[in-house]
Amino acid sequence: MLKPSERIAHLTESQTIMMSRMSRELIAQGKDIINLSLGEPDFDTPQHIKDAAKKAIDEGYTHYPPISGYPDLRQAISDKFKNENGLDFKADQIVVSTGAKQSIANAILCLINPGDEIILTKPYWVSYIELIKLAEGVPVFIETSIENDFKANVLEIEKVITDKTKMFIFSSPCNPTGSVYTKTELEEMANLFAKHPNMFVLSDEIYEHINFMGSHESIGQFGAIKDQLIVINGVSKGYAMTGWRIGYMGAPKWIAQACDKMQGQITSGACSISQKAAKAALTYHNGPTIEMRNAFLRRRDLLLELLKDIPGVRTNVPQGAFYLFPDISYYFGKSDGEKVIQNASDLCMYLMYNALVSVVPGEAFGAPACIRFSYAAADEVLIEAVKRIKNALVQLK
């Protein structure tokens, strides 16, 4: 019997993408679905970025670009790291990829050998665990809680470091929880990792600009771990450029060279037009980004206030990104008379078909008591979504 490789058979479909796909299918059937499952800003790409792309087309940037990105874009990223984050990555330490997800995949597949241990805090972003599977690494988990803002401390991290530990992966601001590590917390983590020079630190900072605590803090600002550090970022979230597919990494030169080698055999360089658009995003003032951040903050507060009226929904107050990640285990074991809600996946399906609202089950993020709301939607859409959810949940006894 013909079948896929074991590699792909062991890979799980992204539940964020799955829930969004189901939403689209139901919308095509005429259902009025509110989709709060996908992590995508609802804003259009700013005009100056689109203009830069049009100019690139007119100037003939329609040929293969260098695998790691155009030199001027890599220099712009190097300057951005230096000026905004205090990070010293030269242009030859930058690799531009087809989205931050590819940047993360490059790093994991270039550094992890079978049996290597990779530390993740729960909840984690869905693709981390699947990419670790592809690399045949061994995930090691640290449980966190709403009470601790879904953050791990250095004592918890230190307990799980072994001689097999190869990498620590985290995001701040975090997907799915919106949690943000403080400068003090990051410094404590950096001091710990500096004691273990054979492990790498992968810092996913794609939500950098959607930060409600003030300026973004990167763990890379602490120079003791510069030889262990891989910083991931991109233009999708902060500049509303999800469809342009541009992500990038800063890393020690030998890691950047390894990722260039891998990327050269898989995708080669990222889209030439998108690269020119990304340069315009990174070299323009952040006015449009700040406006979007302020809108997300308003929506966060709105959604938190609306959810107060629903019994049994517990959440932290996220300080970044555009997600809420409430604990909804209060509803486990309840029924509408036809189906018993056993877990978060059951609840998400119930809400999809009974409230016509799409959210993502926490199992996808290693947190089976929770669900993820994206509030990257207009205020009136959020109000209607919570109204529907409240009316559906009241039917569960």
Average pLDDT of the residues in 128-155: 97
Q: What's the rounded Cα separation, in Å, for the pair 248 and 253?
A: 14
Q: How many residues are listed for the chain in this entry?
A: 397
* H-helix or E-strand spanning residue 117: strand 117-122
pLDDT computed for residue 26 by the predictor: 82
C-alpha distances out from residue 255 to 109, 110, 112, 134, 229, Å? 11, 8, 12, 19, 10
Whether the CB-CB separation of 322 and 299 falls below 8 Å is answered with yes
- pLDDT of res. 87: 97
What CATH number does the domain located at 63-283 have?
3.40.640.10
Query: What average pLDDT does range 86-108 have in this prediction?
Result: 98
- Whole-model pTM: value is 0.95
All structural domains of the chain with their residue ranges:
6-44+288-393, 63-283
Please give the mean pLDDT across all residues of the chain. Answer: 96
Tell me the C-alpha distance between 362 and 331, whole Å. Answer: 14
* pLDDT at residue 17 tops 80: no
Mean pLDDT calculated for residue range 153-177: 98
Q: Is the Cβ–Cβ distance between 376 and 41 less than 8 Å?
A: yes
Per-residue confidence (pLDDT) for residue 49, from 0 to 100: 98
The percentage of the chain sitting over the pLDDT mark of 90, rounded to a whole number, equals: 91
The predicted pLDDT at position 13 comes to 77
Q: Omega of the bond prior to 123 within 30 degrees of 0, cis?
A: yes
Equal fold, 6-44+288-393 vs 63-283:
no
With a cut of 80, say whether residue 245 has pLDDT above it.
Answer: yes
Q: In this predicted model, which residue has the larger pLDDT, 7 or 154? A: 154
Distance CA 293, CA 182 (A): 19
139, 110 contact by CB (below 8 A):
no
Q: With bands split at pLDDT 50, 70 and 90, how would you rate the model's confidence at 188?
A: very high
| pLDDT-wise least confident of 5-19, 23-37, 73-87, 209-223 | 5-19
Answer yes or no: are the C-beta atoms of 232 and 100 closer than 8 Å: yes
- Tell me the three state secondary structure of residue 265: helix
CB atoms within 10 A of CB 295: 18
**What's residue 205's pLDDT?**
98
Strand 371-374's sheet: what is its strand order?
A: 323-324, 371-374, 360-361
Is pLDDT of 81 > 80? yes
Cα-Cα end-to-end distance for the chain: 46
Read off the pLDDT of residues 344-389 as tens digits, 9 standing for 90 and up. 999 999 999 999 999 999 999 999 999 999 999 999 999 999 999 9
Predicted confidence at residue 39, as pLDDT, reads 86
User: Which pLDDT band, with edges at 50, 70 and 90, does 152 fall under?
Assistant: very high
Mean pLDDT for 165-176 is 98
Q: How is domain 6-44+288-393 classified at the architecture level of CATH?
A: Alpha-Beta Complex (3.90)
**pLDDT per residue as tens digits for the range 259-271:** 999 999 999 999 9
Asked if pLDDT for residue 220 goes beyond 90, the answer is yes
Contact 176, 284 (CB under 8 A): no
Determine the pLDDT at residue 331.
Answer: 98
H or E element in which residue 108 lies: helix 100-111
